[in-house]
Amino acid sequence: MSRYSAWEILKNAVKGNRDWTPAWRRAEPKSAYDVIIIGGGGHGLSTAYYLAKVHGITNVAVVEKGYLGSGNVGRNTTIVRSNYRLTPNSRFYEKSMELWRELSHDLNYNVMFSPRGVLNLALTPGQMDTYAERGNQMRLMGVRSELLDRDQVARLNPGLDVSGSARFPIEGGLLQPDAGNARHDAVAWGYARAADQLGVDIIENCEVNGFLKEGGRITGVETTRGTIRAAKTGVAVAGNTGKVMKLAGIDNLPIESTVLQAFVSESIKPIIKNVVTFGAGHLYVSQSDKGGLVFGGNIDYYNSYAQRGNLPVWEEVISELLAMFPAFARVKLLRSWGGVMDMSMDGSPIITTGPIDGMYLNAGWCYGGFKATPASGWCFAHTIANDKASEYNETFTLERFKNGQSIDELGAGPTPWYH
Amino acid sequence: MAEIPDRISPLDGLFEPGDFGAVTNSPGVEYSQRLCGALVQVQAWPGTTGKVEAVLKQVLGLPVPKARLAHMKDETILMSTGPGRWLVDDEMEGLEEKLRKALPSDLGALTGLTHARVVISVSGEKAEWVLSSGIAMDFHVNAFPGGGVQLGHHHEIGVTIHRLGANHFELYAFTSLAHGLWHWLTHAGAEVGYRVT
Amino acid sequence: MKITCPYCGERDHREFTYRGDATAIRPSIDNTSLDDHQAFVYDRKNTAGTHRELWNHTSGCRTHVVVVRDTVSHEIFSCEPVGPFAKQLARNVAKLKGAGA
Amino acid sequence: MSGFRLKAAETGGKALHFTFDGKSFVGREGDTLASALMANGVSIVGRSFKYHRPRGIFTAGSEEPSALVTLRSGGRHEPNVRATEIELYEGLEARSQNRWPSVRFDLMAVNQLAGKAFSAGFYYKTFMGPRRAGHKATQFWYFCEQFIRRAAGLGKGATSADPDTYSRMNAWCDVLVIGAGAAGIAAAGRAASAGARVIMCDERARGGGSLTGAPELLDGQPAAEWASDAMEELAELDNVTILTRTTVQSMFDGDTYLAVERVNDHRDEPKRHQPRQRAWTIRAASTVIATGAIERPIVFAGNDRPGVMLADAARRYAVEYGVAPGRAVAVFTNNDTGWLAARDMARAGVIVSAIVDVRADVQDDVRKAGEESRAEIFLGAAITGTRGWQELQGAHVRDFHEVSNTLGGKKRFIGCDCIAVSGGWSPAFHLTSQQGGKPQWDAELQAFLPGEASANWFGAGAMAGKFGLRNAFRTGEEAAVRALTQAGFGEGESSVPVIEGDAIDYAPAPVLEINSPGKSFVDLQHDVTADDVRLAHREGFVSVEHLKRYTTLGMATDQGKTSNVTGLAIMAQTRDMSIPEVGTTRFRPPYTPVALATLAGEQYGHLSTVRRTPMHDWHVANGAHMYANGPWLRPESYNAPGETVEQAYIREARKVRESVGLVDVSTLGKIDVQGPDAAEFLNRIYSNGFAKLPVGKARYGLMLREDGFLFDDGTTWRLDEHRFLMTTTTAGAGHVMEHLEYHRDVVWPDLKVALTSVSDEWAGVAVAGPKSRQVLAACVTKCDVSNEALPFMGVRTGEIVGIPVWIARLSFSGEMAYEVYCGANWGQALWDALMAAGEKHDIVPYGLEALSTLRIEKGHVAGPELNGRTTPGDLGLQGMVSSKKNFVGAVLNNRPAMQAEDRLQLVAIRSIDGQRIIGGSHLVKGTKDEPGLSEGHTTSTCFSPALNAYISLALLERGRARFGEKMYATNPVRDSHVAVEVINPHMVDPKGARMHG
Ligand SMILES: Cc1cc2nc3c(=O)[nH]c(=O)nc-3n(C[C@H](O)[C@H](O)[C@H](O)COP(=O)(O)OP(=O)(O)OC[C@H]3O[C@@H](n4cnc5c(N)ncnc54)[C@H](O)[C@@H]3O)c2cc1C
Ligand SMILES: NC(=O)c1ccc[n+]([C@@H]2O[C@H](COP(=O)([O-])OP(=O)(O)OC[C@H]3O[C@@H](n4cnc5c(N)ncnc54)[C@H](O)[C@@H]3O)[C@@H](O)[C@H]2O)c1
Ligand SMILES: Cc1cc2nc3c(=O)[nH]c(=O)nc-3n(C[C@H](O)[C@H](O)[C@H](O)COP(=O)(O)O)c2cc1C
Ligand SMILES: [Zn+2]
């Protein structure tokens, strides 16, 4: 398999692009592996990659029920940031940023990580203070952040309504200049290709529908393509955590599945620079390289495993978008879709050994797991390889809910539909 | 002793009589507003519904309407607004005291809402059309007959709606949000023309 | 989705507020077991399929209801009242359904 | 292509003037922009997305991939409008897009030269840039990206707000009929006859669907006339609503549909008082979907040249618009409908130069239609390439063997400036797919059909694969009967017309690509070629969803309406599989792109409603800067001319401590809690005791969430044995109400408690300061306000200027203070009366800033401290957590981590050297340059006139043990680093002498 480069492209172009080979092998499941990762999303694939690359564990299979990247990694609004307030989150997501910055080289795949800046708009002086508090925490943690006033915000994103007569007039905003977005599909494909090159088997169209248990220990999985044994089984199935864990007899988890919708407009020439979020409601928007405005907002407030949402959230999200950018009035919505979110009870993730021997759980990503993809895989690989959390995920346990150490970034309490 | 100052409607200053929007010969809708002399919510306990109904009947001289209906007599409107719950709108003040005497707390609860709502009347040929444009509710007479009462909302503004006739509604709007409701009514009414009286 | 409120009739789900899994029962007021409370607050079956859940008709009569809904297809199978007036309202539901409202 | 207006049509219709790229043209009433451009011989309308190749008009409807223009200007500027849909109006102004400098000569077309290198997925393989560490690693891509972003994209967005308005409509019906073609009309008629409430929507300007250009006679009448009569008759029925120019965009759960009515897009600007568009939310008991079918092309080399279009579109231009799509039209087809298109065009006066059919033979009546068109016939042949520079000049034809899918024989040239292609028909089941319905492949029809119903809908006509007018009418009525049954109605009456005309076979030959040298386009807008599909295959992107994402096939503004099936066919062939084995991608809403403002509806420009207190206008008139607090607007401070907010609030706060001030507290949440069990209920809700609160007394209460964290606070007054008035924070009111109702209904339904929001019933004014009692004494009647009669926390009724009031002696500021409540309609009068009574004490109105300053000085917590992560213990309120009773949150509040000593605890800090402490600071030990890690942070910051210092409340690790410690309040994002001392938060009057006095 060839390395990708501009030179390769030219060479192939001359030959009519006839020599390109599959980005990853269509592996057939073997009967046993050292590690099985369930879920061919961003987290599952990155876990496999770091298992092979960092820990030298290459006898690994990633089993994916549909096509690779068919879950949330393929349907998110691609925001990558580490502008967190609470220390455990801050440390973890900044680790992720470090990995993002090197990722295209590391994978020899351009994941189009684009540090165009993530800007949170503040709409009251009180919100400015809250943002300053967060911005300062970022600085103290070594993460770049800037508090911008109204003029600075407007200069970066000319279409913003900064008239001051708005229902929620813009005061300024918090900018993380090194944050931005990345091309979602490329992240999945890039990890898959790189893992595959290190010997990982990527097995698509293979749904896990049971677990093998011996003496209270998980020893493999049953799938639509047969039984596969493994010394260790990692679960990274995002919105499907509830379903999959039930197969292992875990009936209760601090997770609820809900739908989050995303939207993309028709392509227009570049009009906004940053990823912009609105402070008076839940809304975020950026412009894709293709020119579409990619945006999203609140979850549909009820539990759901349907990958589609409903109209009230459209109306809410789009009204907010136009309150921020009134000039987008006649830009047209092209497509909307939904993804199933694993909302944890405090809005923060879980990367842990257990809850059964031989099993490892990676879940609870809510709206925000795309940006975590590299660090999540890195930490999960560490946890699986060493049977022990790394320093970055030692607080992301299941026990925290029991002992009162929730990591509640929003302070919304154990009410997933408010996170 | 000083005379009690006039009550001021939350719509004062906005509610300007005249014809607006696409009025050609006659407006599609007419709007007017009023404050209630007294507006009182009555809530029965699960076991006392019958007794409360008897009290209401006796004090108001009105039969008690079934769910989602209203009865009117003279200046009094008795609306059913929830399970074991009614709203009494009376032209005269003093209703709350009258009811309180007749209704001890082991029968039910009374809450004065006289200042909490302003009543906006929407009438005319296009009344149903205008209301449908902003309230997610089936206004067809089969679903919402004359004499009916429904609770609904326009965005975050809750409204209790009493249909007096085919083309006549009264909206009980929250005082602090009345501006917003009025804003929408003028927007929606402009297309068919509206008269403010 | 449309939910048939036992008092108001069939309405758009936007008028209702989701209030979570209805199978999670709050321990009684004099139960002081930490485990029981933890289970109630944090543990969820998170069912894929038929789900009993609470909704409140916030933009209508403010009645709480237990809705049985499929979390995969979003089909709604039933809507029963809870709360002090549950019994009274249960009769209403039957009527409302009959009227096709 | 060089279209022109056909002779027969030259005189009809009013002339309408319009411009395209600044050039003036004349069209006719009834034209679309596309037909008018075509009539004027304009053939290049735009440029493609990637290669910037010239693009013409491809279809005659909403499925158009190519003819996208920018319409109007200023705030009405709108990019990416399909010329095939926009109805011509006088003065229409359109521009081509994605080209520079002009549409005929576009410099960006150099992209084509690198065509092979620009193949699918090329970005992923390069632009990684030189390998460098850290931030620099990504800079190369970030740099390149800006150029790529500029080259991509279609039209430009507007830069100013839209002057138009938008509206919404809610509708309910028994039977919704989507599509007003033959099937839709039949369904609506049948449903109406049964007395059902019917709504019928069609996206076109007039109903009739394919009937408008159909050659058949219905009941002896031309189809178009019959259709318009039928539409009129339906429109007259009371139980039928017909919405034209209305596209049903989305099907949602529970038979809820979103439809968009283009009320005024066919006009220069909206009629006065009318919205531009209206978004309908239609809730149906049952639905008939009769959305017809979309024609698809055959892919061949050079098939993107302007002049290549769909056969039915070419036919419609000739028959419906009286415009010849070219001087010489060649038809290329794999099915019979292409032949009928040729015949109908010829009948309308168009010269059809050739009919090329991949099939070796056709039925006699089809052959007859061919003869009537006077075209040269090529059977068992295919177009293998086109000739022309920018526009089409002719095509190459070779023999084609359908079964082996191979080309043979000699290349022949046919002159033509338009190729009308038909690759068969794809039923328009987009709406059902949106709901997750799995389409099913019909091998006979070579098409996906909608598959099983996921909700109460019934397909009819071409949408259900029932082609032909007779089928359309029959299945339309059948679907209506099923829908009627579903909605609880009888069967109604049938009224199918007598149909005279062709009965043809719609099944095409399974040929969707002619593989010959040259660029063959599958997705015309995104420039996805057949080679790209094969490349995707080679690289392993073989799942349809991967194919789509890797090549962007079907992801353009047309969402692949005319390209999805051809793309699948090529992938299927490459994988040596059948099309259904390859599968199809999922359609998602909306059906066609929808203006964002339409979806915001009447909310465009009016986000959430403001809640206003009765004194709102007074505040504004008296210099208040209004500030969003929850849904309310509240005065921040009352600024005298020239005064800054800081100067104003310091003045206001000082005045309160010295004399007296008043503040509007109408925004506090107020809940009427009544009933025999009200006290018990409150006792379970609050963490402190309420059972024994005496009548006529208020108590400050804390509420916890289920998880034991602080939720809200406020005072609750016992007005009566069984009647309480609870107040909540302004922002928390809604959630508290829901919390209470939930517990009453779900947890303790046996308690007799009534809960009613009375926030809007009461206006509230707080009067605070050492002179507050004198102010009240001067205006209150029927109530003794002396310290003895109205002690601290006492609640009484009285009157002020005749207005009945509740007076509660509460203090948020630490001063002697009262809250006075009256009916909201008297709020302003009460305010005026208190202002007048305070005049001789120089009473001042004070805003949120001063309010906050006073409570900070006193160490009272509020919103910023109740951040959802704090416990009563954290805030020094452990004393308010009863250990003698059970209440909501009690058990989980006792978890060890929540009682731990190393938590962040409430303290105050005071600036040591007079430097200002700025909001959002963190508490650290280190220097400005090396601050170290955060040990805590400020929550509420102000200048304290009482202490004459900058102070702040703060949450600090183990804070209560650290009074007296010196630290820094660091604020790097605001560039400050202030030396502070940690102090007890009860800064002013810790013993409470002032408020008890
Ligand atoms: C609309 C939307 C917008 C979002 N926006 C952002 C954003 O802007 N920024 C951000 O950081 N995050 C965002 N997120 C969240 C982010 O996408 C997810 O948190 C993250 O992708 C989850 O991790 P993953 O990639 O491993 O999940 P997935 O991609 O969902 O991977 C899980 C995989 O497991 C597979 N699977 C499930 N069950 C089985 C089984 N039984 N057997 C085999 N395989 C199985 C699934 O098919 C799936 O492919 C968004 C999410 C959504 C839905
Ligand atoms: N040229 C041809 O030969 C040709 C082409 C198409 C159909 N037909 C024939 O015409 C008859 C089809 O009748 P039919 O009624 O099934 O289809 P139709 O094409 O006559 O009508 C479908 C109608 O639905 C409308 N529509 C589509 N999607 C919509 C949406 N989302 N919202 C609102 N409106 C929408 C279209 O504008 C159109 O008017 C059949 O006989 C068919 O074979 C013939
Ligand atoms: C960042 C981003 C940008 C997208 N841009 C487009 C687009 O330009 N055109 C399009 O058709 N779909 C676009 N999509 C949506 C996908 O087509 C698709 O809807 C999404 O991946 C979910 O898959 P599904 O609809 O097959 O369930 C985009 C998706 C994402 C995540
Ligand atoms: Zn209700």
Tell me the nearest-neighbour CA distance from A385 into chain D, angstroms.
27
Q: Under DSSP, is residue D225 helix (H, G, I), strand (E, B) or coil?
A: helix
Of B13, B43, B105, the CB nearest to D676: B105
pLDDT band at A7 (very low <50, low <70, confident <90, very high): confident
Atom of ligand 2 at shortest range from CA of D185: 15
Domain regions of chain B by residue span: 26-35+115-196, 38-112
The average pLDDT across D579-606 equals 93
On chain D, the residues whose CB falls within 8 A of the CB of C63 are: 745
The edge-to-edge listing of strands for the beta sheet with D780-781 is D780-781, D795-800, D803-808, D817-823, D762-768, D661-664, D844-845
Q: How far apart are CA D562 and CA D64, in angstroms?
A: 8
Q: Cβ(A184) to ligand 3 under 6 A?
A: yes
B110 bridge partner residues: B42
On chain D, the residues whose CB falls within 8 A of the CB of A414 are: 705-707
Centre of ligand 3 to C-alpha D585, Å, is: 11
How far, in whole angstroms, is CA D615 from its chain's centroid? Answer: 35
pLDDT band at D120 (very low <50, low <70, confident <90, very high): confident
Q: Do D157 and A159 touch (CB under 8 A)?
A: yes
Q: Is the ipTM of this complex over 0.95?
A: yes
D265 burial via Cβ count (<10 Å: 0-12, 13-18, 19+): buried
Centre of ligand 2 to C-alpha D180, Å, is: 8
From the CA atom positions of chain D, what is the Rg in Å? 38
Interface of D with B in 548-567 (CB under 8 A): none
On chain A, the residues whose CB falls within 8 A of the CB of C14 are: 311-312
**Is A104 at the interface with chain D, CB within 8 A?**
yes
So what's the pLDDT on residue D99? 79
Q: Do C85 and B68 touch (CB under 8 A)?
A: no
So what's the pLDDT on residue D160? 87
B70 bridge partner residues: B79
The average pLDDT across A401-413 equals 92
The DSSP annotation for D651-719 comes to: HHHHHHHHS-EEEE-TTSEEEEEESTTHHHHHHHHBSS--TTPPTTBEEEEEEE-TTSSEEEEEEEEEE
Of C17, C55, C71, the CB nearest to A305: C71
The average pLDDT across D364-387 equals 96
pLDDT in tens, D402-446: 888 899 999 999 999 999 999 999 999 999 999 998 999 999 999
For the ranges A326-335, B92-101, D193-202, D461-470, which has the lowest average pLDDT?
B92-101
CATH number at residue C30: 3.30.2270.10
Q: How far apart are CA D756 and CA B110, in angstroms?
A: 10
Give the tokens for residue D179: 């599509």
On chain B, the residues whose CB falls within 8 A of the CB of C93 are: none
pLDDT in tens, B166-177: 999 999 999 999
pLDDT > 90? residue A13: no
Q: Under DSSP, is residue B176 helix (H, G, I), strand (E, B) or coil?
A: helix
Q: Which residue has the tokens 């319009």?
A: D18
The average pLDDT across A340-359 equals 96
Give the tokens for residue B79: 């609306």
The helix/strand count (H/E) of chain D reads as: 25, 54
User: Which of D119, D38, D558 lies closest to D297, judged by CA?
Assistant: D558
Average pLDDT, chain D: 94
Q: How far apart are CA A28 and CA A13, in angstroms?
A: 31
Q: How many structural domains comprise chain C? A: 1
So what's the pLDDT on residue D146? 83
Residue D64 sits at φ, ψ, to 5 deg, of: -60, 125
For the ranges D101-110, D178-187, D343-352, which has the lowest average pLDDT?
D101-110
pLDDT > 80? residue A183: yes
pLDDT in tens, D252-281: 999 999 999 999 999 999 999 999 999 999
Q: Cβ(A41) to ligand 1 under 6 A?
A: yes
Q: Which chains touch D (3 or more CB pairs under 8 A)?
A: A, B, C
So what's the pLDDT on residue D126? 82
Q: Which chains touch B (3 or more CB pairs under 8 A)?
A: C, D
Nearby residues of D182 by Cβ (< 8 Å), 6 or more positions away: D209, D210, D211, D227, D461, D469, D472, D473, D476
Q: Whose CA is nearest to atom 11 of ligand 3?
A: D555
Count the Cβ atoms, other than its own, within 10 Å of residue A390. Answer: 18
The average pLDDT across B76-103 equals 94
Q: How far apart are CA D902 and CA D897, in angstroms?
A: 9
Backbone angle region of C49, left / alpha / beta, with phi > 0 → left and psi within -120 to 50 → alpha: left
pLDDT in tens, A75-92: 999 999 999 999 999 999
User: Which of A300, D281, B68 lies closest to C6, judged by CA?
Assistant: B68
How far, in whole angstroms, is CA D656 from its chain's centroid? Answer: 48
Q: Do D604 and A322 touch (CB under 8 A)?
A: yes
Indicate the CATH number for domain B38-112.
3.30.70.1520
The DSSP annotation for D509-564 comes to: PS--B---SS-BEEETTTTEEHHHHHHHHHTT--SHHHHHHHH-TT-STTTTTTTH
pLDDT in tens, D564-591: 999 999 999 999 999 999 999 999 999 9
Secondary structure (H, E, C), chain A: CCCCCHHHHHHHHHCCCCCCCCCCCCCCCCCEEEEEEECCCHHHHHHHHHHHHHHCCCCEEEECCCCCCCCHHHCCCCEECCCCCCHHHHHHHHHHHHHHHHHHHHHCCCCCCECCCEEEEECCHHHHHHHHHHHHHHHHCCCCCEEEEHHHHHHHCCCCCCCCCCCCCCCEEEEECCCEECCHHHHHHHHHHHHHHCCCEEECCCCEEEEEEECCEEEEEEECCEEEEEEEEEECCHHHHHHHHHHCCCCCECEEEEEEEEEEEEEECCCCCCEEEECCCCEEEEECCCCEEEEEEEEEEEECCCCCCCHHHHHHHHHHHHHHCHHHCCCEEEEEEEEEEEEECCCCCEEEECCCECEEEEECCHHHCCCCHHHHHHHHHHHHHHCCCCCCCCCCCCCHHHHCCCCCCCCCCCCHHHC
So what's the pLDDT on residue A39? 98
So what's the pLDDT on residue A256? 96
Q: Which chains touch A (3 or more CB pairs under 8 A)?
A: C, D
What pairing do the DSSP bridges indicate for beta strands A226-235 and A359-363?
parallel
Query: Cβ(D38)–Cβ(D323) under 8 Å?
Result: yes
On chain B, the residues whose CB falls within 8 A of the CB of D824 are: 10, 115-116, 175-176
Q: How far apart are CA D141 and CA D145, in angstroms?
A: 6
On chain B, the residues whose CB falls within 8 A of the CB of D281 are: 136
Residue D223 sits at φ, ψ, to 5 deg, of: -55, -40
Q: Which residue has the tokens 């690198």?
A: D114
Among chain A residues, the shortest Cα distance to C34 is held by A402
Architecture of the domain made up of B26-35+115-196: 2-Layer Sandwich (3.30)
Q: Which DSSP state fits D78? A: E
**Is A404 at the interface with chain C, CB within 8 A?**
no
Query: Cβ(B88)–Cβ(B77) under 8 Å?
Result: yes
Q: Which DSSP state fits D573? A: H
pLDDT > 60? residue B2: no
Q: Which residue has the tokens 């399970």?
A: B83
**Dihedral sign computed on CA atoms, order A27, A28, A30, A34:** positive
Tell me the nearest-neighbour CA distance from C7 into chain B, angstroms.
7
Among chain D residues, the shortest Cα distance to B157 is held by D609
So what's the pLDDT on residue D444? 93
**Is B189 at the interface with chain D, CB within 8 A?**
no
Give the tokens for residue D445: 């029809």
Query: Cβ(B55)–Cβ(B97) under 8 Å?
Result: no
So what's the pLDDT on residue D147? 82
Q: Under DSSP, is residue B98 helix (H, G, I), strand (E, B) or coil?
A: helix
pLDDT in tens, D813-830: 999 999 999 999 999 999
Give the tokens for residue D530: 């057949």
pLDDT in tens, D40-66: 999 999 988 888 889 999 999 999 999
pLDDT in tens, A92-101: 999 999 999 9
So what's the pLDDT on residue D925? 97
Q: How far apart are CA A254 and CA A352, in angstroms?
A: 14
Count the Cβ atoms, other than its own, within 10 Å of residue D204. Answer: 20
pLDDT > 50? residue C100: no
**Is B191 at the interface with chain D, CB within 8 A?**
yes
Secondary structure (H, E, C), D879-925: HHCCCCCCCCCHHHHCCHHHHCCCCEEEEEEEECCCCCCCCCCEEEC
pLDDT in tens, D219-250: 999 999 999 999 999 999 999 999 999 999 99
Q: Do B113 and D761 touch (CB under 8 A)?
A: yes
Q: Do C62 and D741 touch (CB under 8 A)?
A: yes
The edge-to-edge listing of strands for the beta sheet with D68-71 is D23-28, D15-20, D92-95, D68-71, D78-82
- Taken in order of first residue, the domains within chain D and their CATH numbers are 1-152 (3.10.20.440), 166-294+428-500 (3.50.50.60), 297-423 (3.50.50.60), 513-575 (1.10.10), 630-667+761-854 (3.30.1360.120), 669-757 (3.30.70.1400), 896-996 (2.40.30.110)
Q: Cβ(A288) to ligand 3 under 6 A?
A: yes
- Confirm whether pTM is higher than 0.95: yes
**Is B60 at the interface with chain D, CB within 8 A?**
no
The average pLDDT across A350-357 equals 96
pLDDT band at A17 (very low <50, low <70, confident <90, very high): confident
Residue D128 sits at φ, ψ, to 5 deg, of: -70, -25
Q: How far apart are CA B150 and CA B153, in angstroms?
A: 10
ω into residue D590 within 30 of 0, thus cis? yes
Q: Do B83 and C9 touch (CB under 8 A)?
A: no
Query: Cβ(D753)–Cβ(D745) under 8 Å?
Result: no
For residue A35, the one-letter residue type is V
pLDDT in tens, B34-46: 999 999 999 999 9
pLDDT > 70? residue B128: yes
- Determine the residue of A187, A305, A335 to mutate for testing ligand 3's pocket, defined as the one with the most ligand atoms within 8 A of the Cβ atom: A335
D942 bridge partner residues: D951
Q: Which of C16, C59, C93, C97 is the best residue to mutate to test the B interface, defined by the most B CB atoms within 10 Å of its own CB?
A: C59
Q: How far apart are CA A106 and CA B129, in angstroms?
A: 61
D787 burial via Cβ count (<10 Å: 0-12, 13-18, 19+): middle
Q: Cβ(A264) to ligand 3 under 6 A?
A: yes
pLDDT > 90? residue D85: yes
Q: Which domain holds residue C96?
A: 2-100
Interface of A with D in 40-59 (CB under 8 A): none
Angle, alpha carbons D668-D637-D777 (nearest 5°):
65
pLDDT > 80? residue A69: yes
Q: Whose CA is nearest to atom 31 of ligand 3?
A: A75
Give the tokens for residue B157: 């503004």
Query: Cβ(B146)–Cβ(B68) under 8 Å?
Result: no
Q: Whose CA is nearest to atom 39 of ligand 2?
A: D209
pLDDT in tens, D879-933: 999 999 999 999 999 999 999 999 999 999 999 999 999 999 999 999 999 999 9
The average pLDDT across D108-113 equals 72
Q: Cβ(A73) to ligand 1 under 6 A?
A: yes
pLDDT > 80? residue D131: no
On chain A, the residues whose CB falls within 8 A of the CB of D539 are: 20-23
Nearby residues of D930 by Cβ (< 8 Å), 6 or more positions away: none
pLDDT > 60? residue D319: yes
D374 to each of D3, D276, D741, how far by Cα in Å?
19, 46, 79
- Helices A184-197 and A87-107 sit at what angle, rounded to 10 degrees? 70
pLDDT > 70? residue C101: no
**Is D144 at the interface with chain A, CB within 8 A?**
no
ω into residue D215 within 30 of 0, thus cis? no
